[in-house]
Amino acid sequence: MFTRRLPLLMALGILIMGSMGFLSSIDDDVEAVGSPAISIRFAQQKMTAYVGPGQDGIVTFTGTVTAQAPWSPNVQQLIVQLEPEAGGWACTTPPELPFSKGQTERDFAITVQVPQGTSHMDQGTLLVPATWHYEPGPASGSVEPVTAIIYVAQYYDCDLDTSTPILEAEKGGYAEFVVDVINNGNANDKMILEVLNLDDLVSDDITIQMSDNIVSVPEKQSVELSILAYVDEGTSTGRYKIVVEVRSKQAEDAGKTCDTDAIELYLEVVREIQEPEEPDPEPEEPIEDPEVPEEEPEVPQEEPDNGEDVEEIMEEDPTYTPKEESVPSLGILGLVLSTFLILLIVKRYRDR
Protein backbone atom coordinates (compact mmCIF):
# COMPACT_ATOMS: atom_id res chain seq x y z
CA MET A 1 0.00 0.00 0.00
CA PHE A 2 2.86 2.35 0.81
CA THR A 3 4.39 1.42 -2.53
CA ARG A 4 1.24 2.54 -4.29
CA ARG A 5 1.22 5.93 -2.52
CA LEU A 6 4.92 6.72 -3.08
CA PRO A 7 4.50 8.16 -6.58
CA LEU A 8 1.69 10.39 -5.26
CA LEU A 9 3.80 11.72 -2.38
CA MET A 10 6.69 12.39 -4.72
CA ALA A 11 4.39 14.36 -7.05
CA LEU A 12 3.11 16.44 -4.13
CA GLY A 13 6.67 17.18 -2.97
CA ILE A 14 7.70 18.30 -6.43
CA LEU A 15 4.62 20.55 -6.64
CA ILE A 16 5.34 22.17 -3.28
CA MET A 17 8.99 22.79 -4.12
CA GLY A 18 7.99 24.34 -7.44
CA SER A 19 5.56 26.69 -5.77
CA MET A 20 8.20 27.86 -3.30
CA GLY A 21 10.59 28.57 -6.15
CA PHE A 22 7.89 30.62 -7.92
CA LEU A 23 7.19 32.71 -4.79
CA SER A 24 10.90 33.24 -4.28
CA SER A 25 11.23 34.55 -7.84
CA ILE A 26 8.35 37.05 -7.21
CA ASP A 27 10.06 38.39 -4.08
CA ASP A 28 13.29 38.77 -5.99
CA ASP A 29 11.47 40.81 -8.65
CA VAL A 30 9.92 43.12 -6.03
CA GLU A 31 13.25 43.77 -4.40
CA ALA A 32 14.78 44.40 -7.81
CA VAL A 33 12.40 47.35 -8.61
CA GLY A 34 14.54 50.52 -8.68
CA SER A 35 13.83 54.21 -8.05
CA PRO A 36 11.73 56.03 -10.66
CA ALA A 37 13.09 58.91 -12.76
CA ILE A 38 10.88 61.91 -11.91
CA SER A 39 11.15 65.53 -13.12
CA ILE A 40 9.04 68.65 -12.52
CA ARG A 41 8.61 71.32 -15.17
CA PHE A 42 6.92 74.76 -14.88
CA ALA A 43 5.00 76.22 -17.79
CA GLN A 44 5.86 79.75 -16.46
CA GLN A 45 9.23 80.66 -14.97
CA LYS A 46 8.17 84.21 -13.99
CA MET A 47 4.85 85.79 -13.05
CA THR A 48 3.77 89.25 -11.81
CA ALA A 49 1.41 89.81 -8.91
CA TYR A 50 -0.82 92.89 -9.08
CA VAL A 51 -1.52 94.06 -5.55
CA GLY A 52 -3.22 97.18 -4.21
CA PRO A 53 -4.31 98.93 -0.99
CA GLY A 54 -7.26 96.54 -0.68
CA GLN A 55 -6.33 93.85 -3.18
CA ASP A 56 -4.24 90.69 -2.93
CA GLY A 57 -2.10 89.66 -5.87
CA ILE A 58 -3.02 86.16 -7.12
CA VAL A 59 -0.75 84.23 -9.47
CA THR A 60 -1.17 80.61 -10.64
CA PHE A 61 1.70 78.52 -11.94
CA THR A 62 1.01 75.41 -14.00
CA GLY A 63 3.34 72.58 -14.90
CA THR A 64 3.89 68.90 -15.60
CA VAL A 65 5.42 66.00 -13.64
CA THR A 66 7.09 63.32 -15.77
CA ALA A 67 7.82 59.87 -14.28
CA GLN A 68 9.58 56.78 -15.70
CA ALA A 69 9.41 53.84 -13.30
CA PRO A 70 10.33 50.13 -13.55
CA TRP A 71 7.28 48.00 -12.90
CA SER A 72 6.70 44.60 -11.32
CA PRO A 73 3.53 42.58 -10.85
CA ASN A 74 3.30 43.64 -7.22
CA VAL A 75 3.55 47.45 -7.88
CA GLN A 76 0.19 48.99 -8.61
CA GLN A 77 0.95 52.75 -8.58
CA LEU A 78 3.69 55.35 -8.27
CA ILE A 79 2.54 58.29 -6.10
CA VAL A 80 4.18 61.76 -6.41
CA GLN A 81 3.42 64.49 -3.84
CA LEU A 82 4.39 68.13 -4.57
CA GLU A 83 5.25 70.29 -1.50
CA PRO A 84 5.42 73.97 -2.65
CA GLU A 85 6.38 76.98 -0.49
CA ALA A 86 6.70 80.69 -1.39
CA GLY A 87 8.79 82.31 1.33
CA GLY A 88 5.92 82.97 3.72
CA TRP A 89 3.28 83.87 1.12
CA ALA A 90 0.27 81.58 1.10
CA CYS A 91 0.20 78.97 -1.67
CA THR A 92 -1.92 75.94 -2.52
CA THR A 93 -0.69 72.33 -2.41
CA PRO A 94 -1.78 70.12 -5.33
CA PRO A 95 -3.30 66.72 -4.53
CA GLU A 96 -1.22 63.56 -4.89
CA LEU A 97 -0.35 62.63 -8.48
CA PRO A 98 -0.79 58.86 -9.06
CA PHE A 99 0.98 57.14 -11.97
CA SER A 100 -0.25 53.78 -13.21
CA LYS A 101 1.71 51.39 -15.42
CA GLY A 102 2.22 53.01 -18.79
CA GLN A 103 1.35 56.52 -17.56
CA THR A 104 4.31 58.97 -17.63
CA GLU A 105 2.91 62.55 -17.29
CA ARG A 106 0.57 64.37 -14.90
CA ASP A 107 -0.32 68.11 -14.88
CA PHE A 108 -0.55 70.34 -11.78
CA ALA A 109 -1.39 73.94 -10.74
CA ILE A 110 -0.11 75.99 -7.79
CA THR A 111 -1.67 79.34 -6.75
CA VAL A 112 0.31 81.94 -4.74
CA GLN A 113 -1.40 84.76 -2.82
CA VAL A 114 0.71 87.93 -2.46
CA PRO A 115 -0.62 90.13 0.42
CA GLN A 116 -2.18 93.51 -0.37
CA GLY A 117 0.18 96.48 -0.15
CA THR A 118 3.32 94.36 -0.65
CA SER A 119 6.26 96.53 -1.66
CA HIS A 120 7.29 96.68 -5.29
CA MET A 121 10.83 95.89 -4.11
CA ASP A 122 9.78 92.50 -2.66
CA GLN A 123 10.49 89.61 -5.02
CA GLY A 124 9.18 86.15 -4.23
CA THR A 125 10.44 82.69 -5.13
CA LEU A 126 8.18 79.67 -5.53
CA LEU A 127 10.09 76.54 -4.53
CA VAL A 128 8.56 73.13 -5.35
CA PRO A 129 10.22 69.99 -4.00
CA ALA A 130 8.41 66.60 -4.10
CA THR A 131 8.44 63.07 -2.68
CA TRP A 132 7.46 59.70 -4.20
CA HIS A 133 6.53 56.21 -3.02
CA TYR A 134 5.22 52.96 -4.49
CA GLU A 135 1.87 51.41 -3.60
CA PRO A 136 2.04 48.88 -2.19
CA GLY A 137 5.56 48.69 -0.87
CA PRO A 138 7.95 50.55 1.42
CA ALA A 139 10.10 52.11 -1.31
CA SER A 140 10.10 55.96 -1.31
CA GLY A 141 12.35 58.90 -2.08
CA SER A 142 12.62 62.62 -2.91
CA VAL A 143 12.50 64.62 -6.14
CA GLU A 144 14.84 67.43 -7.22
CA PRO A 145 13.03 70.76 -6.52
CA VAL A 146 12.34 73.47 -9.10
CA THR A 147 11.83 77.24 -8.69
CA ALA A 148 9.90 80.11 -10.28
CA ILE A 149 10.05 83.91 -9.71
CA ILE A 150 7.19 86.15 -8.53
CA TYR A 151 7.43 89.90 -9.21
CA VAL A 152 5.24 92.51 -7.49
CA ALA A 153 3.84 95.16 -9.80
CA GLN A 154 3.97 98.82 -8.76
CA TYR A 155 0.69 100.51 -8.03
CA TYR A 156 0.08 104.25 -7.62
CA ASP A 157 -1.93 105.92 -4.89
CA CYS A 158 -1.54 109.57 -3.82
CA ASP A 159 -3.36 111.77 -1.30
CA LEU A 160 -3.39 115.35 0.00
CA ASP A 161 -4.08 116.54 3.53
CA THR A 162 -3.66 119.71 5.60
CA SER A 163 -4.14 120.86 9.18
CA THR A 164 -4.81 124.51 8.14
CA PRO A 165 -7.58 124.55 5.53
CA ILE A 166 -8.64 128.15 6.37
CA LEU A 167 -6.28 131.13 6.77
CA GLU A 168 -6.64 134.93 6.91
CA ALA A 169 -4.64 137.49 4.95
CA GLU A 170 -4.95 141.26 4.85
CA LYS A 171 -4.87 143.27 1.67
CA GLY A 172 -1.34 143.57 0.44
CA GLY A 173 -0.30 140.56 2.56
CA TYR A 174 -0.20 136.81 2.09
CA ALA A 175 -1.11 133.49 3.71
CA GLU A 176 0.98 130.31 3.75
CA PHE A 177 -0.83 126.97 3.53
CA VAL A 178 1.09 123.80 4.39
CA VAL A 179 -0.17 120.57 2.79
CA ASP A 180 0.98 116.96 3.19
CA VAL A 181 1.65 115.09 -0.06
CA ILE A 182 1.10 111.41 0.79
CA ASN A 183 2.35 108.38 -1.17
CA ASN A 184 0.16 105.34 -0.42
CA GLY A 185 1.70 103.37 -3.30
CA ASN A 186 4.09 100.45 -2.95
CA ALA A 187 7.13 102.20 -4.48
CA ASN A 188 8.84 105.60 -4.52
CA ASP A 189 6.90 108.03 -6.67
CA LYS A 190 6.90 111.59 -8.02
CA MET A 191 3.77 113.65 -7.49
CA ILE A 192 2.49 116.57 -9.58
CA LEU A 193 0.50 119.32 -7.81
CA GLU A 194 -1.74 121.75 -9.65
CA VAL A 195 -4.17 124.54 -8.65
CA LEU A 196 -7.31 123.78 -10.65
CA ASN A 197 -8.99 127.21 -10.31
CA LEU A 198 -5.89 129.33 -10.86
CA ASP A 199 -7.52 131.53 -13.52
CA ASP A 200 -10.37 132.50 -11.21
CA LEU A 201 -7.93 133.47 -8.45
CA VAL A 202 -5.84 135.58 -10.83
CA SER A 203 -8.97 137.46 -11.88
CA ASP A 204 -9.58 138.19 -8.18
CA ASP A 205 -6.04 139.62 -7.85
CA ILE A 206 -4.80 136.62 -5.83
CA THR A 207 -1.48 135.05 -6.86
CA ILE A 208 -0.58 131.46 -5.94
CA GLN A 209 2.99 130.27 -5.60
CA MET A 210 4.19 126.75 -4.64
CA SER A 211 7.57 125.82 -3.21
CA ASP A 212 7.60 123.06 -5.86
CA ASN A 213 4.96 121.58 -8.13
CA ILE A 214 6.74 118.20 -8.55
CA VAL A 215 7.59 116.38 -5.33
CA SER A 216 9.46 113.09 -4.81
CA VAL A 217 7.76 111.07 -2.08
CA PRO A 218 9.18 107.79 -0.71
CA GLU A 219 7.01 104.69 -0.47
CA LYS A 220 4.39 104.83 2.32
CA GLN A 221 5.59 108.30 3.44
CA SER A 222 4.59 111.98 3.09
CA VAL A 223 6.28 115.30 2.29
CA GLU A 224 5.20 118.81 3.36
CA LEU A 225 4.63 121.41 0.65
CA SER A 226 4.16 125.17 1.08
CA ILE A 227 1.48 127.04 -0.91
CA LEU A 228 1.63 130.86 -0.71
CA ALA A 229 -1.42 132.99 -1.52
CA TYR A 230 -0.51 136.67 -2.19
CA VAL A 231 -3.34 139.21 -1.88
CA ASP A 232 -3.28 142.44 -3.92
CA GLU A 233 -4.23 145.80 -2.39
CA GLY A 234 -7.26 145.93 -4.65
CA THR A 235 -8.63 142.51 -3.73
CA SER A 236 -12.12 142.60 -2.27
CA THR A 237 -12.65 141.31 1.24
CA GLY A 238 -14.30 137.91 1.51
CA ARG A 239 -13.61 134.18 1.30
CA TYR A 240 -11.81 132.63 -1.69
CA LYS A 241 -11.51 128.91 -2.48
CA ILE A 242 -8.25 127.34 -3.66
CA VAL A 243 -8.58 123.83 -5.19
CA VAL A 244 -5.33 121.81 -5.23
CA GLU A 245 -4.99 118.45 -7.02
CA VAL A 246 -2.24 115.79 -6.83
CA ARG A 247 -1.51 112.96 -9.27
CA SER A 248 1.30 110.47 -9.92
CA LYS A 249 3.89 111.57 -12.47
CA GLN A 250 5.40 108.09 -12.72
CA ALA A 251 1.99 106.63 -13.53
CA GLU A 252 1.55 109.16 -16.34
CA ASP A 253 5.05 108.46 -17.68
CA ALA A 254 4.36 104.70 -17.64
CA GLY A 255 0.92 105.09 -19.21
CA LYS A 256 -0.74 103.65 -16.11
CA THR A 257 -3.97 104.77 -14.50
CA CYS A 258 -3.91 106.39 -11.08
CA ASP A 259 -6.70 108.00 -9.08
CA THR A 260 -6.10 111.67 -8.28
CA ASP A 261 -6.91 113.44 -5.03
CA ALA A 262 -7.86 117.08 -4.35
CA ILE A 263 -8.39 119.32 -1.34
CA GLU A 264 -10.05 122.72 -0.92
CA LEU A 265 -8.28 125.55 0.89
CA TYR A 266 -10.04 128.76 1.94
CA LEU A 267 -8.49 132.24 2.07
CA GLU A 268 -10.21 134.92 4.15
CA VAL A 269 -9.24 138.39 2.87
CA VAL A 270 -9.69 141.09 5.54
CA ARG A 271 -8.80 144.77 5.81
CA GLU A 272 -6.77 144.17 8.90
CA ILE A 273 -6.02 140.97 10.61
CA GLN A 274 -8.03 140.89 13.78
CA GLU A 275 -5.87 140.26 16.78
CA PRO A 276 -7.43 137.94 19.32
CA GLU A 277 -8.92 139.75 22.27
CA GLU A 278 -6.85 139.50 25.37
CA PRO A 279 -8.66 138.61 28.57
CA ASP A 280 -9.12 141.37 31.13
CA PRO A 281 -6.26 141.40 33.58
CA GLU A 282 -7.06 140.17 37.02
CA PRO A 283 -7.52 143.01 39.55
CA GLU A 284 -4.45 143.61 41.55
CA GLU A 285 -4.70 143.37 45.28
CA PRO A 286 -4.42 146.80 46.94
CA ILE A 287 -1.04 147.48 48.32
CA GLU A 288 -1.30 148.53 51.92
CA ASP A 289 0.61 151.66 52.92
CA PRO A 290 3.45 150.84 55.18
CA GLU A 291 2.72 151.76 58.76
CA VAL A 292 4.27 155.08 59.72
CA PRO A 293 5.35 155.09 63.33
CA GLU A 294 3.59 157.72 65.34
CA GLU A 295 5.75 160.63 66.39
CA GLU A 296 6.29 160.87 70.07
CA PRO A 297 5.01 164.15 71.49
CA GLU A 298 7.70 166.58 72.19
CA VAL A 299 8.41 166.97 75.85
CA PRO A 300 8.25 170.65 76.73
CA GLN A 301 11.56 171.90 77.82
CA GLU A 302 11.60 173.27 81.26
CA GLU A 303 12.72 176.81 81.61
CA PRO A 304 15.61 177.18 84.02
CA ASP A 305 15.06 178.85 87.25
CA ASN A 306 16.49 182.27 87.72
CA GLY A 307 19.41 180.88 89.62
CA GLU A 308 20.15 177.99 87.22
CA ASP A 309 22.92 178.38 84.81
CA VAL A 310 21.81 178.12 81.18
CA GLU A 311 25.11 176.67 80.12
CA GLU A 312 24.75 173.75 82.52
CA ILE A 313 21.31 172.97 81.11
CA MET A 314 22.65 172.99 77.52
CA GLU A 315 25.37 170.57 78.51
CA GLU A 316 22.77 168.14 79.81
CA ASP A 317 20.38 168.72 76.88
CA PRO A 318 22.09 169.79 73.64
CA THR A 319 18.70 170.41 72.02
CA TYR A 320 17.74 173.10 74.56
CA THR A 321 17.26 176.59 73.20
CA PRO A 322 16.96 179.35 75.75
CA LYS A 323 13.97 181.63 75.33
CA GLU A 324 14.74 185.29 74.80
CA GLU A 325 13.02 187.71 77.06
CA SER A 326 10.71 190.07 75.31
CA VAL A 327 11.95 193.63 75.33
CA PRO A 328 9.48 196.41 74.55
CA SER A 329 10.21 197.92 71.24
CA LEU A 330 11.21 201.60 70.93
CA GLY A 331 7.99 202.39 69.09
CA ILE A 332 5.78 201.38 71.98
CA LEU A 333 7.99 203.20 74.49
CA GLY A 334 7.84 206.40 72.48
CA LEU A 335 4.05 206.15 72.29
CA VAL A 336 3.78 205.85 76.06
CA LEU A 337 6.10 208.82 76.66
CA SER A 338 4.21 210.96 74.17
CA THR A 339 0.90 210.19 75.89
CA PHE A 340 2.39 210.99 79.28
CA LEU A 341 3.69 214.39 78.13
CA ILE A 342 0.32 215.30 76.59
CA LEU A 343 -1.51 214.49 79.79
CA LEU A 344 1.02 216.55 81.78
CA ILE A 345 0.56 219.62 79.56
CA VAL A 346 -3.23 219.32 79.77
CA LYS A 347 -3.09 219.19 83.56
CA ARG A 348 -0.90 222.32 83.81
CA TYR A 349 -3.21 224.16 81.47
CA ARG A 350 -6.20 223.42 83.66
CA ASP A 351 -4.38 224.51 86.85
CA ARG A 352 -3.84 228.05 85.47
Q: What is the mean pLDDT of the chain?
A: 82
Contacts of 340 (CB under 8 A, 6+ apart): none
- Of residues 90 and 271, more confidently modeled: 90
Q: In what order do the strands lie in the sheet with 261-270?
A: 166-170, 261-270, 238-248, 189-195, 214-217
pLDDT digits (tens, 9 = 90+) for 47-106: 999 998 889 999 999 999 999 988 887 888 999 999 999 999 999 999 999 999 889 999
Structural domains for the chain: 32-152 (2.60.40.10), 158-270 (2.60.40.10)
Q: What is the pLDDT of residue 71?
A: 81
Q: What is the pLDDT of residue 21?
A: 42
pLDDT digits (tens, 9 = 90+) for 190-217: 999 999 999 999 999 999 999 899 999 9
pLDDT digits (tens, 9 = 90+) for 124-146: 999 999 999 999 888 899 999 99
Q: What is the pLDDT of residue 351?
A: 66
Contact between 124 and 87 under an 8 Å Cβ cutoff? The reply is yes
Predicted TM-score of the model (pTM): 0.62
Q: What is the pLDDT of residue 297?
A: 54
Nearest to 249 by CA among 280, 275, 281, 217: 217
